[in-house]
Structure 1
C-alpha cells in the first residue's frame, strides 16, 4: 500500500491516477474526501494531523511507502513521519524544489522551507528519495481567466525563460521510486521539462492548443496585482517577480532526470497545453 498526501493536488492526483491505472494499492489522503473525485478503486481517507494520534496512525496501517507533499506536514512533519514509520512505512518520496540545488539561494523562502522538509525526511529513519522539480507547467493556469475572457494576456517578463515540467512527469518519477525503493534510496532527482520556453511562447502554445491566436502584452512588475499569481502568497510575490525577472536572457536549466528514471522523454509544454485545453476554454 502506498499512501499519497496532497492527493487532490496537481502532482498528487496525477500520481494516484497512475498508480490506480497500474492496479497498485493506494490510499489517498485529503482533508475533504467527499470532494476528492479520484479514480474508482482508490481508498480515500481523511487526512488527520498529530492532534488526532489514533486517526493519524490508522492512515499508515498496511502501508510500505509514502509520497510526502510540503503542505501535508508543515511544522508537524516530524510527527507525520514518525507515525508513518511506526505504521510500517519503509520509504518516503518527498516533493521538494529545484531551488534546493542552489546554495546561493539559501536565504530564499522557498529554499528555506524545502530544505527543512528534506532535513526532516533524512532524519526520519526512513529510506527516502527527493524530487526537486523546477517550474511547474501548471503555473500557467494563472493565465486561464484572461484566456477565457479574450485574446490578450497581460503579464510581466514576456521573455522570462524556464523549462517547466508536466505534473504527470513528476508523478511518473514518484511512481517509479515508490514502487522500487531499493533502486532509488538516497537519490535526488532535479526535474524539468525537455526544453526552455519563454512566458510569451507559453501563451502562444496555449493559443494553439485552444485554436486561437493569443497575444501577450507585457506589463511592468510594479503593475502586477496579487491576483495575477493566485498560487503565490502575497508577501512572497516581490521575491517571485525578482526571480522571474532574473531569468530573462538566460538559458533555462534543463535536466534529463525524467527520461533517466522513467525511460521516456519528458513531456513538452505544448503537450501540457493540449492536456489542459478545457481549463482555458470558457
Structure 2
C-alpha cells in the first residue's frame, strides 16, 4: 500500500493516477474525502486521521505539514513504513541559510533522513502550475503584471513530477537520490502568458512592474511573509543575469522528454476560458 498525502493537489492527483495505472494499491489522503473526486480504485481517507495500516511507502507533500511535521515521521516509522518519497524543492540544493524556502525544505529532508528509512527527495524548480495564479487577470482581460520580464525560468509540468515520484515509489532506482527536476526549456513570463492566450484562444497580455510594486502585491497574498517574498523576488532578479540551467533528470528517469510549457498551457486551456 502506498500512502499519498496532498492527494488532490497538482502533483498528488496525477501521482494517484500513475500509481493506479501501474497496479499499485493507493491510499489517498485529503481534507474532505466527500469532495475529493479521486479515482474509485483509490482508498480515500482524511488527512487528519492518516491511517497507516498496511502502508509500505509514503509520499510526503510538505505543504500538508508546512506548520510542522509533529509526530508524523515517528508514526510512519512505528507503522513499519519502509520508504518515504518527499516532494522537496530545488532551493534545497543551494543550502543557502538566508533562503527561508531552502532552510524549510532542508530541515524536513534532514528529519526524514534521521528516521533511518529509505528516502528519495524530489527537488523540482518552478512549477508550471504556478501560472494558474494569473487566471483571474487573463479571464478579466487584464494584463498579467510581474517584475523582471527578461528573467528565464524552467517551469515543470506537474505530470512530470508525478511520473518521477511514481518511479521513486514503485522501484528502487531512486533510493537515496535527490534529483533536481526542471522543464525542458528556459522561458520568460511574457512568453508564458502568450502561450496561455494562444492555447485558450483569448487575448493575454503581460505588463512589467517594479520590484517594489510586486512586493506590495505579493504581501497581500495568503501565506506570504516578508522573508518568502524577498527570496522569490531575489530569485527572479537573479534569473535576468544568469544562464538558465535545465536538468536532464526527468528524461533520464522516465525515459521521455519533459513536457514543454506550451504543452502545459494546452492541458490547462480550459482553466483560462
TM-score, with length taken from structure 1: 0.90
Cα separation, 2, equivalents of 1:74 and 1:209: 34
1:77 and 2:77 correspond = no
Which blocks of at least 5 consecutive residues in structure 1 are unaligned?
Answer: 49-54
Name the counterpart of 2:202. Answer: 212
1:6 and 2:6 correspond = yes
Deviation at 1:279, TM superposition (A): 1.1
- After superposition, the C-alpha distances for 1:152-194 in whole angstroms (9 at most, x for unaligned) are 32222211211011111001000001001x2221011100000
The one of 127, 131, 135 aligned to 1:144: 135
Cα separation, 1, equivalents of 2:241 and 2:66: 35
Which blocks of at least 5 consecutive residues in structure 2 are unaligned?
Answer: none
Name the counterpart of 1:45. Answer: 45
Name the counterpart of 1:52. Answer: none
Name the counterpart of 1:203. Answer: 193
Write the mapping of 1:162-173 to structure 2, written as runs, cut at 5 A.
162-173=153-164
1:62 and 2:54 correspond = yes
Cα separation, 2, equivalents of 1:77 and 1:232: 18
The one of 261, 266, 271 aligned to 2:263: 271
Name the counterpart of 2:79. Answer: 87
Name the counterpart of 2:28. Answer: 28
- After superposition, the C-alpha distances for 1:258-279 in whole angstroms (9 at most, x for unaligned) are 1111111111011001111111
Task: Assess, with a 3 A threshold, how the Cα gap between structure 1 residues 231 and 265 changes in structure 2: closer, same or farther.
Answer: farther
Cα separation, 1, equivalents of 2:194 and 2:36: 32
Q: Which moved more, 1:73-82 or 1:257-266?
A: 73-82
Q: What is the root-mean-square deviation of aligned Cα atoms in Å?
A: 1.8
SS at match of 1:267: coil
Cα separation, 2, equivalents of 1:215 and 1:76: 39
CA contact (8 A) 1:259 1:266 kept: yes
Name the counterpart of 2:92. Answer: 100
- After superposition, the C-alpha distances for 1:100-129 in whole angstroms (9 at most, x for unaligned) are 1113x2221001100001001100121001
- After superposition, the C-alpha distances for 1:181-208 in whole angstroms (9 at most, x for unaligned) are x222101110000010011111111111
